[in-house]
A = this chain, B = another copy of it.
């Protein structure tokens, strides 16, 4: 699976689900294509041609895969452009250079669903960041396999849906969950310490659009009870990993990781407590980068333009 995943933009423009008129004076453009000389000049002059000013451009050339990836943050200083004309010029470029592209128009918040179980530290942090304007998204619902966190969601005026799940991959529960996601036109699912495993079918529907936080420094301690595993092993640092979910458990592209020191004095319970801070920080960072279109998945790796 060594190819780029930018097909979403073609199939379904990011801004299609916006009830508000998107701000067309700013946009993020992501492009990928086989590497060759002259791409940067070609892309920038094409955008210049439709009046775009390039505020920031980052690129990465994957030497092994010979692929070129670029993120451009552009604005139109004078007047809003016609989206069609911008799309046309990108389409033309795409044909010429065998280039995939996607564009997101400014201030068009995506719809995010948060899945939780009983622990609320990650949920709380995401809701606070959203409230403070640090996460550019809407959160139309929280879904949980337990009723415990309803009050937390309500404190932030977010509808809470209790969907009991018999066991990981429970098809009836997943049907209910999927129906909720579709009803709210969800773009991104965040598993904020959700303790059930989703079925491959569910995950494939939201490829590269499900972010999970795993409470270990992956690939160490994949699977269940990672702090217990870490304690048994006697590691001197514990960590957390935010990654896109793939059908292979805890194997998806890593977006962000963090660690904190522990010692022999720390019990499993101490590790759980210390891990809290890392988990929520790492998850919040990954979600923010996704919402700012800073991530391109390439093979099994996540390129983050930070």
Q: How far is the CA of A239 from the CA of B238 in the complex (A)?
A: 12
Which of B45, B155, B220 makes the CB contact (< 8 A) with A44?
B45
Query: CB of A124 within 8 A of chain B?
Result: yes
Given A48-B38, A54-B41, decide whether A234 and B302 contact each other with a Cβ distance below 8 A.
yes
Interface magnitude class on chain A: 35 or more
Query: CB of A37 within 8 A of chain B?
Result: yes
Q: How far is the CA of A120 from the CA of B129 in the complex (A)?
A: 11
Task: Please determine whether A234 and B265 come into contact, CB atoms closer than 8 angstroms.
Answer: no
Chain A window 30-74, contacts with chain B (Cβ cutoff 8 Å), 1 for yes, 0 for no: 000000011111101101100001111111111100000000000
- Report copies per complex: 4
Query: CB of A221 within 8 A of chain B?
Result: yes
Query: CB of A267 within 8 A of chain B?
Result: yes
Query: CB of A300 within 8 A of chain B?
Result: yes
Which of B37, B220, B236 makes the CB contact (< 8 A) with A77?
B37
Query: CB of A89 within 8 A of chain B?
Result: no
Query: CB of A291 within 8 A of chain B?
Result: no
Task: Please determine whether A60 and B265 come into contact, CB atoms closer than 8 angstroms.
Answer: yes
Query: CB of A224 within 8 A of chain B?
Result: no
Q: How far is the CA of A44 from the CA of B54 in the complex (A)?
A: 12
Task: Please determine whether A281 and B273 come into contact, CB atoms closer than 8 angstroms.
Answer: no
Task: Please determine whether B77 and A234 come into contact, CB atoms closer than 8 angstroms.
Answer: no
Task: Please determine whether B254 and A236 come into contact, CB atoms closer than 8 angstroms.
Answer: yes
Query: CB of A277 within 8 A of chain B?
Result: yes
Q: How far is the CA of A267 from the CA of B63 in the complex (A)?
A: 9
Q: Which of A47, A54, A234 counts the most chain B CB atoms within 10 A? A: A234
Query: CB of A249 within 8 A of chain B?
Result: no
Query: CB of A146 within 8 A of chain B?
Result: no
5 contacts between A and B (CB under 8 A): A37-B53, A41-B44, A44-B45, A58-B58, A234-B253
